[in-house]
Amino acid sequence: MSDLSSLTSSAYQQALEVIASVEPRIAEATRQELADQRSSLKLIASENYASPAVLLTMGTWFSDKYAEGTVGHRFYAACQNVDTVEALAAEHARELFGAPYAYVQPHSGIDANLVAFWSILAHRVETPALEKLGAKNVNELSEADWESLRAELGNQRLLGMSLDTGGHLTHGFRPNISGKMFHQQQYGTDPETGLLDYDALAAKAREFRPLVLVAGYSAYPRRVNFAKMREIADEVGATLMVDMAHFAGLVAGKVFTGDEDPIPHAHVVTTTTHKSLRGPRGGMVLSQEEFAADIDRGCPMVLGGPLSHVMAAKAVALAEARKPEFRTYAQAIADNAQTLAEGFLKRGARLVTGGTDNHLVLVDVSTFGLTGRQAESALLEAGVVTNRNSIPADPNGAWYTSGIRLGTPALTTRGFGATEFDKVAELIVDVLSNTQAGTTKAGGPSKASFVLGDGVAERTRAASAEMLDKHPLYPGLELS
């Protein structure tokens, strides 16, 4: 065992002993979570494994600080060390992505999107309105003027990708806050190919004329031409906002470059810092300089006190991503996704868009006679962790779905390569082929219950264990 592995084991062992002295059930759940993650094939596209350095950074006394405001301009005293942490995280983000400005305070992806939305509204709507009315801020407005501004802010148009074709809840889905705060419409994909149709999107933008055009995805297994998206936005006078939460690691690792890199083309870019970026759970906003002052008002506009301990962990993760080996990792994510897709196709599975060229694969499980929920549950019983996901024109809706979404970032972190990912496809097809839809209590077809064939779970777990043992999670970390 290396000295670093020994130190890591010691740190976690002692930390769990301290936790157990107060609430032993939490310590036990923590131990069990590591055991569960070590023994399962984690294929959820939005999950990964952060390094011990990132994880340990979150467990410090930075958690005890309130630090509303920005670097050098806080509403609380004694924030000089938080200033250091936030400045370093922002510096790493700017250098890693080549972005003029970075805001690292958002607690999550949805917070990052809310900061972006309201910053765009402030920049495009509120500031011009205040100047016209001769006011410096909203506190100087009369009640009538404020009501008029509120109506104008809440009546702006947003055009985003629909949820069933690969978009995200925060891209204008009606039950989400983004769908309530904007007058919204959504664009989709070509019904035959499942691919983005830029001409159709441009035509919709010309007709709807949105203030904000949102690009990016959570379940679209292809790359996006952000240069074309910017052309469409410019033609209709829209602000282009890109949500790269899922593929930020591929941008950071220079797998996506040129027209496929959103940073040079978008006005504002949002992301999470986990997923393919392999950092702590959190969010971040990158932008061109013209939006920097508005985004800096994320607190108090949208956010409260930043999570200083998480910002510190973001700085560590972003520093890791600036190392040359991260580019090798990012390329492996994309290569492994290709192998996974090919493994499914040669075994007769149907994939949305017929393949992938990013980090995820979307399998249509209706060809196996299953709903996404049944497939997800059967695979989980066999030790394969996925998530059910809608497919275009999904007849089963967003709860039961007709698809499962698979991603390669986590197992790539463990060291899986082409041989293992082909085997993963084989195991998944075997499970799905040997699963039958169940029946309801009334005897009708069920969208949730399932029957998994005898011995399937056992042989899948055995085959998985053989691969997992060769690629241990957090090698050298022992909690016994």
Here the CATH number for the domain that contains residue 356 is: 3.90.1150.10
Is the domain of 193 the same as that of 243? yes
Number of domains in the chain: 2
Nearest CA-CA partner of 221 in 200, 250, 254: 250
**Angstrom distances, CA of residue 41 to CA of 36, 86, 200, 421, 467:** 10, 35, 39, 10, 9
| N-term to C-term CA, the chain | 15
217 is catalytic: no
Q: Which of 57, 70, 272, 413 is catalytic?
A: 272
272 is catalytic: yes
Is the domain of 249 the same as that of 377? no
Enumerate residue ranges in the chain where pLDDT < 50: none
Contact 383, 464 (CB under 8 A): yes
438 found inside a domain: yes
What CATH number does the domain containing 177 carry? 3.40.640.10
Rg (the chain; Cα; Å): 23
- The encoded tokens of residue 58 equal 């979150």
Is the domain of 131 the same as that of 208? yes
341 found inside a domain: yes
Q: Which domain holds residue 395?
A: 325-470
Place of tokens 């986590």: 410
23 found inside a domain: no
Place of tokens 């083309």: 265
Is the domain of 291 the same as that of 339? no
7 found inside a domain: no
Of 271, 294, 321, at which residue does a domain stop?
321
**Angstrom distances, CA of residue 108 to CA of 150, 300, 409:** 26, 16, 19
Is the domain of 278 the same as that of 422? no
Of 321, 354, 375, at which residue does a domain stop?
321
Q: Who contacts 86 (Cβ-Cβ below 8 Å, separation ≥6)? A: 67, 70, 71, 104, 105, 306, 308, 311
Query: What is the percent of the chain with per-residue pLDDT over 90, rounded to a whole number?
Result: 85
Q: Which of 65, 74, 223, 281 is catalytic?
A: 281
Q: 183: helix, coil or strand?
A: strand
Is the domain of 317 the same as that of 355? no
Is the domain of 79 the same as that of 217? yes
Task: Go through 283-316 and write b for each residue having 16 or more CB atoms within 10 A of its CB, e for each that does not.
Answer: bbbbbeeebbebbbbbbeebbebbbbbbbbbbbb
Q: What is the pLDDT of residue 2?
A: 67
Is the domain of 273 the same as that of 259? yes
The answer to whether the bond into 280 is cis (omega within 30° of 0) is no
37 found inside a domain: no
Is the domain of 118 the same as that of 213? yes
Q: What is the pLDDT of residue 47?
A: 97
Q: What is the pLDDT of residue 6?
A: 83
Q: Which of 31, 38, 47, 66 is catalytic?
A: 66
Q: Which of 30, 31, 38, 68 is catalytic?
A: 68
461 is catalytic: no
Helix axes 3-20, 24-38, angle to 10 degrees: 140
β-strand 360-364 against 403-407: which pairing, if any? Answer: antiparallel
8 found inside a domain: no
Is the domain of 176 the same as that of 218? yes
Q: Which of 275, 278, 314, 447 is catalytic?
A: 275
Is the domain of 234 the same as that of 308? yes
* Edge-first strand listing for the sheet containing 239-243: 101-103, 283-287, 268-272, 239-243, 212-216, 157-161, 183-187
pLDDT digits (tens, 9 = 90+) for 305-330: 999 999 999 999 999 999 999 999 99
281 is catalytic: yes
Contact 411, 276 (CB under 8 A): no
β-strand 157-161 against 183-187: which pairing, if any? Answer: parallel
CA dist 196 and 220 (Å) reads 9
Q: What is the pLDDT of residue 151?
A: 85
355 found inside a domain: yes
Of 275, 291, 321, at which residue does a domain stop?
321
22 found inside a domain: no
DSSP secondary structure letters along 97-131: HT-SEEE---SSHHHHHHHHHHHHHIIIIIHHHHH
Is the domain of 254 the same as that of 293? yes
